[in-house]
């Protein structure tokens, strides 16, 4: 009876201990919490009463036993261990550091977001209006922004508790994030990293650059979202980075408008008129910036136009592998690119693959005075530049012949021009040339490949906006497991309370039987 009463006493202490832990952690907010705490508290007290009812002599005898001393030491050591864990947890909370161990760093901000935040010159306030003032996913995203810069502050707001604030800022829906940077402000109703970073770019830019896109030669439509070959996503990506995009009909002007920061010749299918090329040449010699997306078998007049500027357009088509060609021409004519120039500003941080559908070779000619041309991207060693275009497109056959250029084949070039050395009055001009027009189409600009990063980096380099030359946020995220409130409660009780409690009781029984 005396030994049984001692066991009752220990179990009673354990039940009261877990009742106290549950009260501290849950504060009895749900009916399940109250039941758990009440049951443990009541049975703990009853067991202690049963223990003490055996008499004070039994207590003295029990406390004096060697087994009791050992048990007390074990309990004290356990409490000390828990206390140490508590202190470590407190220190980790106050001085935390996050490690993203995923291969794609899906829980970290993109290099462009970090670069943008570290360049802030004023304080940036992020206020999230969420139901109940809590949204773990949004809060986690905003914490990443706060961790990247001391100038960023974050606040989670319940619009139902602070309706005057929501009304003042015109908040009309939950999960809206308001950004305040100096006098400028903006709102994001779908707070993803891509949307937030684009919003930050817009409110931190004091000037806007204009990209004039030449039309009138069968180019893809800038407003066409339906066609895979349209350029609507290209236009949208430029506008997200505060560029203004407007069409330019060269046949109707006598010079390139002065507000054109960049002139883009993207995917022409018909020849340019004789008077149009001099306009581009004059613009370039005046310090202009030109972007070319020139597909094979089209725009042949630009072979001679670009040659004086150290850029050679190949009269060929890049084929990646013969074996794949037998499975269908499209596969063989869509080379993947993962080799980039590691020194150039455009491609220095680019590590992912890009895709160049139906591309020609574009090479940097050596020895052109006043020109510094760099081959930005090259296809794989198994590819080659096929010059027998008749055999390729009419007979669907392609083999590596002596006349062909063996891979890696350059498919994009960027050139800086010293205009004084080229016979001008001085200054600098820039040209970027891609051998594929489908490279920037709706079908290929977004998704798995990094075409958008390479293209926007090129535009940023042409415009002289180095802070936008980086790797942008991507929509791809790791899959998450979402629990309902009931499932979360069950997991909490099983992992934090029930299992440790059962293990402790089982250990106590084993110890008791051995004694």
DSSP three-state, residue 442: helix
Q: What angle do CA 448, 290, 111 make, to 5 degrees?
A: 40
More confident residue, 409 or 484: 409
More confident residue, 84 or 71: 84
The pLDDT score that the predictor gives to residue 467 is: 66
Convert the pLDDT of each residue in 360-382 to its tens digit. Answer: 999 998 778 899 999 999 998 88
| Structure tokens given for 500 | 């440790």
The pLDDT score that the predictor gives to residue 281 is: 94
Out of 100-104, 235-239, 489-493, least confident range:
100-104
Residue tagged 């006043």 (tokens): 370
DSSP string of 412-435?
Answer: EEEEEEETTTTTSSS-EEEEEEES
Segment 236-245 shows an average pLDDT of 90
Q: What is the DSSP letter of 496?
A: I
The pLDDT score that the predictor gives to residue 49 is: 84
| Structure tokens given for 159 | 């619009």
Q: Considering the entire predicted model, what is its pTM? A: 0.68
d(CA 163, CA 157) in angstroms, rounded, equals 10
Out of 91-100, 124-133, 159-168, 345-354, least confident range:
91-100
**pLDDT of 330 strictly over 80:** no
The pLDDT score that the predictor gives to residue 429 is: 94
**pLDDT of 473 strictly over 70:** no
Contact 352, 426 (CB under 8 A): no
Out of 196-205, 230-239, 434-443, least confident range:
196-205
DSSP three-state, residue 4: helix
d(CA 376, CA 356) in angstroms, rounded, equals 13
**pLDDT of 221 strictly over 70:** yes
The pLDDT score that the predictor gives to residue 324 is: 46
Q: What are phi and psi of 493, to 5 degrees?
A: -65, -40
Q: Minimal CA–CA distance to 298: which of 317, 277, 279? A: 317
The pLDDT score that the predictor gives to residue 56 is: 61
- Most confident listed range (11-20, 285-294, 386-395, 424-433): 285-294
Convert the pLDDT of each residue in 395-432 to its tens digit. Answer: 878 888 888 999 899 999 999 999 988 888 888 999 99
Convert the pLDDT of each residue in 439-453 to its tens digit. Answer: 999 999 877 789 999
d(CA 9, CA 52) in angstroms, rounded, equals 8
The pLDDT score that the predictor gives to residue 333 is: 86
The pLDDT score that the predictor gives to residue 493 is: 81
Strands laid side by side in the 244-248 sheet: 244-248, 210-214, 262-266, 289-293, 428-434, 410-418, 371-379, 336-340, 354-355
d(CA 150, CA 442) in angstroms, rounded, equals 38
DSSP three-state, residue 270: coil
Segment 240-253 shows an average pLDDT of 91
DSSP three-state, residue 446: coil
Sequence length of the chain is 515
Q: What is the mean pLDDT of the chain?
A: 85
H or E stretch at 127: strand 124-129
Out of 82-91, 204-213, 220-229, 420-429, least confident range:
82-91
pLDDT band (50, 70, 90) for residue 323: very low
């Amino acid at each position: 009876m005396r030994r049984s009463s001692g066991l009752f006493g220990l179990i009673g202490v354990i039940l009261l201990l877990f009742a106290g832990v549950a009260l501290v952690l849950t504060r009895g907010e749900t009916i399940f919490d109250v039941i758990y705490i009440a049951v443990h508290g009541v049975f703990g007290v009853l067991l202690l009463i049963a223990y003490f009812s055996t008499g004070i002599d039994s207590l003295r005898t029990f406390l004096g036993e060697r087994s009791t001393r050992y048990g007390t030491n074990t309990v004290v050591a356990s409490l000390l261990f828990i206390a140490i864990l508590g202190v470590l947890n407190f220190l980790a909370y106050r001085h935390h550091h996050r490690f993203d161990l995923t291969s794609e760093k899906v829980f970290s901000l993109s290099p462009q977001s970090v670069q943008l935040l570290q360049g802030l010159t004023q304080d940036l306030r992020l206020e999230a209006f969420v139901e109940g003032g809590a949204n773990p996913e949004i809060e986690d995203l905003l914490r990443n922004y706060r961790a990247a810069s001391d100038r960023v502050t974050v606040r989670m707001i319940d619009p139902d508790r602070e309706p005057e604030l929501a009304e003042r800022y015109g908040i009309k829906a939950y999960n809206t994030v308001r950004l305040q940077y100096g006098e400028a402000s903006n709102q994001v109703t779908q707070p993803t990293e891509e949307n937030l970073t684009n919003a930050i770019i817009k409110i931190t830019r004091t000037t806007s650059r204009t990209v004039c896109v030449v039309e009138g030669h069968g180019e893809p439509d800038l407003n066409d979202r339906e066609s895979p070959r349209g350029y609507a996503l290209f236009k949208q990506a430029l506008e997200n980075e505060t560029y203004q995009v407007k069409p330019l009909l060269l046949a109707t002007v006598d010079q390139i408008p002065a507000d054109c920061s960049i002139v883009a010749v993207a995917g022409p299918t018909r020849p340019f008129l004789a008077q149009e090329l001099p306009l581009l040449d004059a613009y370039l010699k005046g310090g202009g910036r030109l972007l070319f997306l020139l597909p094979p078998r089209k725009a042949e007049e630009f072979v001679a136009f670009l040659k004086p500027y150290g850029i050679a357009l190949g009269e060929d088509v890049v084929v990646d592998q013969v074996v794949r060609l037998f499975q269908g021409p499209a596969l063989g004519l869509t080379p993947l690119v993962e080799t980039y120039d590691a020194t150039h500003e455009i491609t220095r941080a680019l590590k992912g693959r890009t895709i160049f559908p139906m591309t020609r070779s574009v090479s940097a000619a050596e020895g052109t005075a006043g020109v510094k041309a760099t081959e930005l991207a090259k296809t794989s060693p198994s590819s080659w530049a096929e010059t027998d275009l008749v055999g390729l497109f009419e007979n669907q056959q392609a083999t590596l012949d002596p006349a062909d250029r063996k891979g890696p084949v350059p498919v994009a070039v960027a050139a800086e021009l010293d205009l004084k050395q080229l016979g001008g009055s001085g200054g600098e001009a820039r040209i970027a040339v891609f051998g594929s027009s489908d490279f920037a189409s709706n079908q290929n600009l977004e998704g798995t490949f990094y075409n958008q990063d390479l293209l926007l980096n090129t535009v940023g380099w042409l415009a002289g906006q180095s802070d936008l030359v980086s790797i942008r946020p991507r929509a791809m995220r790791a899959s998450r497991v979402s629990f309902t409130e009931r499932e979360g409660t069950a997991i909490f009780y099983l992992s934090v309370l029930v299992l440790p409690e059962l293990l402790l009781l089982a250990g106590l029984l084993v110890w008791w039987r051995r004694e």
